[in-house]
């Protein structure tokens, strides 16, 4: 929309008087008079005298030869014109170029640094750079002086726009006064060094428009000279500059700052006679600097601009705003108080011209996550984004205070993450984020399933046929081959007849023994208690299905044993036992630093997500607790006992059961009181485990002396009082990332909400943990005090006392 093609009518001239003489260099004591020219080696550029438009004044200038229309790219004596064609250009022995007039003497001169000067010569290069160098100089790029250091209104290929920090030299464009007068006009284009460098166009001292900052590919407000050019923006201790280069031979491209203050990209292809002008489109009002005031986004929809406040901001002067007077901009509706800033979230804007970077700071090494964290921990930080959008993005750019001069683009621009206080996050409108996340998740799941399925099928054609039979033939067939069965005698041997010295613990459905086979393999054998609701055949099928659930955060089921009354499940053995063994132990818990704990928290979430969303079987664990989280040698968590509730209690997924499996302290209110369960019941248990991991305290056993709260109530109270960090296990000390801990606590509280519908699902939890999704504000958790538990589930309190000795599970009990 912004690229308008049209033909230029200005900059034509009537000078083409017959040339007397052309030379290709200018040595000391030689001169160039009006009418003579200096031509570059390739004949591409030419230096001589010209008069613009109908003017009769003469200027020393550089232009391209043989292009149409005639286009001047540099003017020497722009402020001191010659009145007639009596001017002479000379090079003196000090290497200084002098433009002499017979009456006024030197009217323009170059000046050079005090480098050793020896037999200087002036050349015009094919690039259009007019240079003075020492005669013996062999280095192509060593100049005593070059016109590229003193641009006029035109940026050419290979010219640096910006700063040499070491010498203080600033190269910038200054417009002509008018098409007939090359004198310095009121517009300038400069690289601003405050904050993250950006290209800014001034009218006098005021910013007229911002071309913007560099995003790795282009200046964010303007994709640049589009034709066969490569652009770069160099920022280091020595230099800060923008440069573009024309890739194609025999093509020219220049960028001009016109007398009216607009930018034009001019382009000649090989014919050199057809010039095209790519106007940059800054003519629309949205290009006017801060047209919409602070904290608001300009959108130009074809014929008029509109301004829209950023999320969480409201017009500063609503009356004026209503009359389309936008310059006052917007102010925060509810300023985030920094005390609770960890509840703040971010709203993503896409295709944006990033705000003025003069109030920004940047870091090239941080990634987007670190960037977000850095923003959250700084009170004044209002937005962040990647510094460089290439290769998925890198670097960090952070804004403080007001965000000024943003506009919406349809086909370029960058993502901006704007900080929004929690109170604004509940407002409707981030539906598109939600929708997108759902889309991504669905996509990932489908993709993952396809990959798994195809790998499965490719690797094992026989299984493929079985799969086909299983799913497409009318009756599922008995598949004995799938799950290895163990002989009872073998297991009895391995566990020394299920001796108590080999007992590892007691899980929800029976005791677990350590076993060692004759070949040395170590196993965990779970001897299931007898009261299963299912027939043998059903049970076996069910277990075979469970064995197919494989995930690195689930304990692997190796086989089963069904003989007579005995049912056993054989699992891989976990050397580090279970989470409760570490996390609640005075000394052992020191082994779990925050990094390990966070890894455990994330691992459980991944395993649970797999159980909840696996497309073939939807498993609700129903007895998730710290003793069911086993730890491998690396302290990676593995969920155990999954699917057992299902095989024991049958396939009643969506509603209600009159038998409750679960453990007090971990079961949600609706389950304890009414037997209602769903994936959200597991989410509740997950939340409890999370808070236990963070605090190193048991929900059931914790009681704060003043308030009789359990751990959930205690966490909630600290949260509301803004002291959430006090929940942190004291052995963790200073080592940890506070924002990550706060985030975890918030996630934990969201997971233990009273109403299942207020709890997030596990896919959201995963996104929360990674910081990829905005967190909402937690409300009061369920089972807040000890009293809640007993009153809500009083009918089962007697049972519970019996069963919860030693933190046993309440395997089966009647809730009514």
Ligand X SMILES: *[C@@H]1O[C@H](CO)[C@@H](O)[C@H](O)[C@H]1NC(C)=O
d(CA 682, CA 761): 9
Angstrom distances, CA of residue 43 to CA of 24, 50, 66, 67, 681? 9, 18, 9, 12, 81
How would you classify the pairing of strands 566-572 and 557-563? antiparallel
Pick the closer one to ligand X by CB: 592 or 718: 718
Beta carbon of residue 54, minimum distance to ligand X (angstroms, whole number): 4
Chain length of the chain: 816
Please name which of 758, 742, 775, 779 lies closest in space to residue 430, comparing C-alpha atoms: 775
> Cα–Cα–Cα angle for 285, 289, 292, nearest 5°?
65
Pick the closer one to ligand X by CB: 42 or 102: 102
Beta carbon of residue 721, minimum distance to ligand X (angstroms, whole number): 14
**DSSP H or E segment with residue 567:** strand 566-572
d(CA 198, CA 221): 10
Pick the closer one to ligand X by CB: 79 or 142: 79
Pick the closer one to ligand X by CB: 343 or 358: 343
Pick the closer one to ligand X by CB: 36 or 245: 36
Coil/strand/helix, residue 300: strand
Pick the closer one to ligand X by CB: 167 or 274: 167
Angstrom distances, CA of residue 425 to CA of 243, 297, 428, 431, 689? 42, 19, 8, 11, 26
CA 478 to chain centre: 49
d(CA 63, CA 23): 15
**Token digits of residue 51:** 């008069």
Summarize as ranges the residues that interact with ligand X (CB under 6 A). 53-54, 80, 83-84, 86, 102-104, 107, 111, 179-180, 318-319, 322, 333-334, 363, 365-366, 370, 423
d(CA 394, CA 381): 19
Please name which of 326, 293, 316, 296 lies closest in space to residue 308, comparing C-alpha atoms: 296
Beta carbon of residue 80, minimum distance to ligand X (angstroms, whole number): 4
Angstrom distances, CA of residue 184 to CA of 50, 256, 507, 512, 710? 17, 14, 85, 88, 76
Pick the closer one to ligand X by CB: 292 or 601: 292
* Residues annotated as part of the active site: 623
Beta carbon of residue 726, minimum distance to ligand X (angstroms, whole number): 21
d(CA 260, CA 603): 61
d(CA 309, CA 330): 6
d(CA 47, CA 90): 13
- According to DSSP, the residues that pair with 398 across neighbouring strands are 361, 384
Please name which of 736, 505, 730 lies closest in space to residue 601, comparing C-alpha atoms: 736
Burial of 805 (0-12, 13-18, 19+ CB in 10 A): exposed
The b/e string for 645-671 (b: 16+ C-beta within 10 A; e otherwise) is bbbbbeeeeeeebebbbbbbbbbbbbb
Nearby residues of 520 by Cβ (< 8 Å), 6 or more positions away: none
Beta carbon of residue 736, minimum distance to ligand X (angstroms, whole number): 16
d(CA 230, CA 242): 11
Pick the closer one to ligand X by CB: 51 or 578: 51
Beta carbon of residue 216, minimum distance to ligand X (angstroms, whole number): 17
Please name which of 551, 712, 536, 530 lies closest in space to residue 636, comparing C-alpha atoms: 551
Beta carbon of residue 334, minimum distance to ligand X (angstroms, whole number): 4
Please name which of 575, 592, 589, 678 lies closest in space to residue 632, comparing C-alpha atoms: 575
Task: Give yes or no for a contact between 120 and 133, defined as CB atoms under 8 angstroms apart.
Answer: yes
Pick the closer one to ligand X by CB: 182 or 662: 182
Beta carbon of residue 55, minimum distance to ligand X (angstroms, whole number): 9
**Token digits of residue 693:** 């991991």
d(CA 117, CA 109): 16
d(CA 650, CA 658): 12
Beta carbon of residue 53, minimum distance to ligand X (angstroms, whole number): 4
Pick the closer one to ligand X by CB: 55 or 529: 55
Pick the closer one to ligand X by CB: 360 or 710: 360
**Token digits of residue 509:** 């459905």
Please name which of 641, 624, 716, 631 lies closest in space to residue 679, comparing C-alpha atoms: 624
d(CA 623, CA 642): 8
Pick the closer one to ligand X by CB: 52 or 665: 52
Task: Give yes or no for a contact between 505 and 627, defined as CB atoms under 8 angstroms apart.
Answer: yes
Coil/strand/helix, residue 753: strand
Going by the DSSP 8-state scheme, the letter that residue 291 receives in this structure is: T
Pick the closer one to ligand X by CB: 86 or 615: 86
- According to DSSP, the residues that pair with 387 across neighbouring strands are none
Please name which of 231, 210, 236, 192 lies closest in space to residue 364, comparing C-alpha atoms: 236
């Amino acid at each position: 929309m912004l690229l308008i093609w049209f033909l230029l009518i200005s900059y034509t001239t009537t000078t083409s008087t017959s040339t007397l003489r052309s030379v290709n260099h200018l040595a000391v004591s030689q001169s160039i008079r009006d009418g003579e020219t200096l031509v570059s080696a390739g004949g591409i550029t030419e230096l001589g005298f010209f008069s613009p438009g109908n003017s009769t004044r003469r200027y020393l200038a550089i232009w391209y030869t043989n292009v149409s229309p005639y286009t001047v790219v540099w003017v020497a004596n722009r402020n001191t014109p010659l009145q007639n064609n009596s001017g002479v250009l000379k090079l003196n022995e000090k290497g200084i170029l002098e433009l002499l007039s017979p009456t006024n003497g030197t009217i323009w001169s170059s000046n050079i640094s005090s480098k050793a000067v020896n037999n200087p010569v002036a050349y015009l290069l094919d690039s259009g750079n007019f240079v003075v160098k020492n005669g013996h100089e062999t280095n192509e790029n060593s100049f005593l002086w070059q016109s590229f250091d003193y641009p006029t209104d035109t940026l050419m290929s290979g010219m640096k726009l910006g700063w040499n920090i070491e010498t203080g030299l600033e190269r910038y464009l200054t417009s002509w006064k008018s098409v007939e007068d090359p004198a310095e006009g009121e517009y300038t284009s400069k690289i601003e060094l405050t904050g993250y460098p950006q290209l800014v166009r001034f009218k006098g001292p005021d910013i007229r428009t911002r071309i913007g900052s560099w995003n790795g590919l282009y200046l964010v407000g303007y994709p640049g000279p589009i034709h066969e050019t490569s652009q770069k923006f160099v920022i280091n201790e020595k230099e800060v500059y923008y440069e573009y280069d024309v890739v194609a031979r025999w093509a020219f491209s220049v960028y001009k700052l016109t007398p009216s203050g607009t930018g034009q990209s001019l382009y000649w292809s090989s014919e050199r006679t057809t010039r095209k002008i790519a106007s940059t489109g800054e003519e629309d009002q949205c290009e006017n600097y801060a047209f919409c005031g602070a904290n608001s986004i300009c959108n130009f929809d074809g014929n008029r601009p509109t301004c829209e406040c950023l999320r969480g901001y409201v017009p500063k002067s609503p009356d004026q705003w209503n009359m389309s007077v936008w310059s006052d901009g917007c102010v925060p509706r509810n300023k985030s108080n920094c005390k609770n800033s960890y509840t703040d979230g971010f709203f993503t804007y896409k295709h944006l011209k990033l705000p003025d970077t003069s109030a920004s700071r940047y870091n090239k090494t941080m990634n987007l996550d670190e960037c977000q964290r850095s923003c959250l921990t700084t009170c004044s930080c209002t937005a962040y984004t990647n510094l460089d959008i290439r290769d998925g993005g890198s670097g960090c750019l952070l804004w403080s205070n007001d965000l000024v001069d943003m506009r919406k683009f349809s086909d370029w621009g960058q993502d901006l993450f704007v900080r929004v206080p929690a109170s604004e996050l509940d407002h409707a409108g981030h539906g598109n984020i939600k929708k997108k996340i759902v889309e991504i998740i669905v996509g990932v799941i489908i993709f993952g399933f396809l990959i798994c399925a195809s790998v499965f099928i490719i690797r094992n054609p026989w299984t493929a046929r079985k799969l086909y039979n299983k799913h497409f033939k009318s009756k599922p067939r008995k598949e004995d081959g799938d799950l290895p069965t163990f002989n009872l005698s073998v297991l009895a041997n391995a566990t020394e007849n299920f001796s108590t010295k080999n007992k590892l613990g007691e899980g929800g459905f029976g005791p677990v023994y350590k076993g060692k086979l004759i070949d040395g393999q170590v196993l965990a054998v779970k001897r299931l208690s007898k009261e299963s609701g299912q027939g043998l055949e059903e049970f076996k099928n069910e277990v075979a299905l469970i064995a197919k659930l494989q995930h690195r955060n689930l304990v692997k089921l190796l086989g089963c044993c069904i003989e007579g009354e005995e049912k056993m499940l054989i699992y891989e053995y976990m050397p580090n036992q279970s989470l409760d063994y570490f996390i609640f132990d005075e000394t052992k818990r020191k082994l779990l630093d925050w990094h390990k704990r966070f890894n455990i928290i994330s691992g459980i979430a991944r395993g649970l997500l797999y159980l909840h969303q696996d497309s073939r079987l939807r498993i609700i664990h129903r007895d998730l607790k710290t003793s069911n989280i086993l730890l491998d040698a690396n302290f990676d968590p593995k969920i155990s006992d999954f699917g057992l509730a299902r095989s024991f209690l049958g396939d009643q997924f969506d509603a209600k059961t009159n038998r409750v499996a679960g453990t007090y302290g971990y079961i949600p209110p609706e389950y304890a009181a009414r037997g209602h369960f769903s994936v959200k019941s597991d989410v509740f248990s997950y939340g409890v485990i999370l808070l236990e991991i963070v605090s190193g305290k048991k929900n059931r056993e914790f009681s704060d002396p003043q308030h009789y709260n359990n751990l959930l109530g205690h966490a909630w109270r600290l949260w509301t009082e803004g002291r959430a960090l006090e929940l942190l296990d004291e052995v963790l000390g200073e080592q940890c990332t506070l924002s990550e801990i706060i985030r975890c606590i918030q996630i934990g509280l969201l997971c233990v909400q009273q109403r299942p519908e207020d709890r997030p699902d596990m896919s959201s939890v995963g996104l929360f943990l990674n910081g990829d999704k905005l967190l909402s504000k937690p409300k009061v958790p369920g089972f807040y005090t000890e009293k809640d538990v007993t009153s809500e589930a009083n009918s089962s309190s007697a049972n519970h006392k019996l069963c919860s000795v030693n933190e046993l599970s309440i395997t089966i009990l009647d809730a009514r």
